[in-house]
Amino acid sequence: MSHERFGRRDLFKRAATSSALLGATGTALGASTAFAQDAAPVAAAAKVPTKVLGATGEKIPILLMGGEFPFDPKFDKLLHRAFKEGMTYIDTAQTYSNGKSHVGVGNFQEQVGRDNIWITSKAGLWGDASASPPERYRDALLHELPILRTDHVNLFYMHGLQDVKTLEPGWIKMGQDLKKAGKTKYFGFSCHDGTVVELLNKAASIGTAGIDAIMFKYSFAQYGDLELNKAIDACHKAGIGLIAMKTQDSVPQDKEEVKNFQSQNFTLAQAKLKSVWADERITACVSGIVNTTILKENTDAAKTNAQLSMKEWTQLNQYAARTSDHRCAFCNHICESRVAGDLRIAEQLRYLMYAESYGDHMGAREKYAALSPGQRNFEGVDLGAAMAACPRRIDIAARLQAAKALLA
């Protein structure tokens, strides 16, 4: 794809040599300080810094606690430790850990005080890519609130949107009605599949009259995607708060790349986070933190003022290029439209990523098992056209076989 070639050949050179170009084509690499040269260690902040979320005027931490993993329902030490580090924002959803995430968050917010914690919750991902009725999202939030032990959330997302129809007036009115009723202070959506650009552009046309914030898949591997950058620019200009998820964009080769990454200041995981924070349009990153080692690694990266050097940027760029054929972009509308039946290619590869790269074997197996046989079984399906159309040239047949071997 042309925007991929642009990113690989020109992005870093152009951004480094012309700050004026950044203003003209979008802040694809954030501030010019993103290219700071290796220097003496920089003093770190005492806690995770905050940044204003779009036009809301609300300051939130730049590092957010992902709630996909189960929390201890009585006293979760990791949540309390993160809270002390300044991570006062939790992103959860009714589907996370079969509802256990909500139970843990509900108890935690009572322990630290509701006014001291930002709770974002999501509803959706009901197994159908088409738009679910607005009432289903509304009813889901009303069901979630008692479990969270609160009368409102700070931000409510429609979860994992794919269909742009979900941003039509009926759905926007549902969000506004929930805000008027005091059930949520802000409203938006999350997205990570192939229609991210279309959804962001639609949201930008609606503006903050309907959408306050968006959480979307964004990482170092997408720098230079022109269409995505234009959509991000449009949302930023409209005052919509932008939160990045899946910033690690991990592949199996990460284990080896960690050893090869050369930096005086950062690990590979930290560099990936710093690359997203360097984009000034992004308010924060959500991170799946499952232990104190990852917590320290992520919070250290958030608190230091040190920026990535050109050497570190170059390594990330080269790494993205080397591993692109294992990094599914979740553009399922491209591959899945070229196979018969209801085969879910992107979902299976995402669950494989959870197991291979994030170590979440149990969660990946549960999600894989939840797929119907028609969504999961690929034997006998002609995948030739799908593989030929894949912009990353992923060996889809081999990756689906790997998912079956690991997750079935």
DSSP letters, 177-188, are HHHHTTSEEEEE
Q: Where are the beta strands (DSSP E) in 192-295?
A: 213-217, 241-245, 284-287
Give, for all 408 residues of the chain, the pLDDT tens digit: 333 333 333 444 433 333 333 333 333 333 333 444 444 456 678 999 999 999 999 999 999 999 988 899 899 999 999 999 999 999 999 888 888 899 999 999 999 999 999 999 999 877 676 789 999 999 999 999 999 999 999 999 999 999 999 999 999 999 999 999 999 999 999 998 889 999 999 999 999 999 999 999 999 998 888 999 999 999 999 999 999 999 988 777 676 778 789 999 999 999 999 999 999 999 999 999 989 999 999 999 999 999 999 999 999 999 988 888 888 878 888 899 999 999 999 889 988 888 887 777 888 898 899 999 999 999 999 999 999 999 888 999 999 999 999 999
Cβ density class 65-85: b for 16+ within 10 Å, e for less: bbbbbbbeeeebebbeebbeb
119 with 153: CB under 8 angstroms? yes
DSSP strand E in 175-310: where? 184-191, 213-217, 241-245, 284-287
Which domains, and CATH codes, for the chain? 2-17+43-309 (3.20.20.100), 328-407 (no CATH)
Q: Report how far residue 73's alpha carbon sits from residue 99's, in angstroms, rounded to the nearest whole number.
A: 11
Contact 163, 129 (CB under 8 A): yes
State whether residue 282 is helix, strand or coil. coil
What sign does the CA torsion over 173, 179, 184, 189 have? positive
Give the strand pairing for 153-159 and 118-124: parallel
Query: For residue range 273-312, what is the model confidence (pLDDT) as tens digits?
Result: 999 999 999 999 999 998 999 999 999 999 999 999 999 9
Cα-to-chain-centroid distance, residue 238? 20
H or E stretch at 121: strand 118-124
pTM summary value = 0.84
